[in-house]
Amino acid sequence: MKVEVARTLRVKREVSGILLLDKSGGISSNRALQIAKRLFGARKAGHTGTLDPMATGLLPICFGDATRFSSALLGANKSYEATLRLGYISTTGDAEGDISVAEGISCHDLKDMAPQVEMVLKSFTGLITQIPPMYSALKHRGKPMYVYAREGVEIERQPRQVIIHELHLMAMEGDEIRLEVHCGCGTYIRTLAEDIGKALGVGGAYLTALRRTAIDDFDLSQADTLNNLETMSMPERDSRLLTVDTLLQGLTAVVLEAPTAAALRQGRSVEGAGAAVPAPLATALAHWDQQPGSGERRS
């Protein structure tokens, strides 16, 4: 999708907050970030974990002070709707790679496989082991794995444990199944698709569609598309931003005296309420809200 950004601000604003973006397919997460940044005229912005260009759905974007706490979502649980084509494999694990029949096996009709599919999905629930795909952002000697993959170089990857909280079969048609996946951080849905295909005895599978529907307590019902945002006035866009402390609702607030809060802003560990207060997160924000002019404070 190509989004034309008209009448963007030449002077960048000090704007802070979280935008829940519904990313469309065919655009990278970084491209979506840059468009959103221009639409809001924001001086500083960052996203909280990428979606592949093919994938759609929830992509939180942090502006201003919210970028300090974007890591709060990196370890969050995530939910997806994934469509798998069984009996085929892809060089990238999705529809953007070179597709071939898996081990000479094709799977054209799944109507009699429902019990087997349900059993296999159950076996992939809980702690499982994955080998990260070559087409991933994992680094090897300073370069992402996908750089080596594009050069035809295979790098040995170490297995890692991830958690699948829930797997639900949503639909079966032809050689495709559609799943709802609720998983922990670090899960590769492309690898999950391939492994499910192998476990079903059809040689593999690849993703034909992937949509992220939720991250932690955020879901698509709260999100806006770039096209919708483009039609809004600046005040309307600003009204769609969540406050910075929305990222920190799961943390206990600690109210600090001014000298202790000042030390915390400087990145120093402090003692408060009889317990060690960790690095600058909700503790700092809890006090910022009580300071004059703290709404868009930048250091």
Alpha-carbon distance of 244 to 248, in angstroms, equals 8
User: Which of helix, strand or coil describes residue 111?
Assistant: coil
**Left (φ > 0), alpha (ψ -120 to 50) or beta: where does 93 sit?**
left
Return the closest-CA partner of residue 176 out of 56, 83, 80, 104: 83
Instruction: Report which residue type is found at 202.
Output: V
Element (H, E) at 275: strand 275-277
User: Do residues 76 and 249 touch, judged by C-beta distance below 8 A?
Assistant: no
Residue 35's alpha-carbon distances to 31, 72, 79, 123, 192, in angstroms, are 6, 23, 25, 41, 31
Which residue of the set 52, 65, 195, 245 is catalytic?
A: 52
Please indicate whether residue 112 is annotated as part of the active site.
Answer: no
User: Which of helix, strand or coil describes residue 235?
Assistant: helix
User: Do residues 288 and 258 touch, judged by C-beta distance below 8 A?
Assistant: no
Helix 114-123 with 189-199: angle, nearest 10 deg? 130
Instruction: Report which residue type is found at 58.
Output: L
Supply the Cα-derived Rg of the chain in whole angstroms.
22
Alpha-carbon distance of 159 to 262, in angstroms, equals 43
Report, as residue numbers or ranges, the catalytic residues: 52
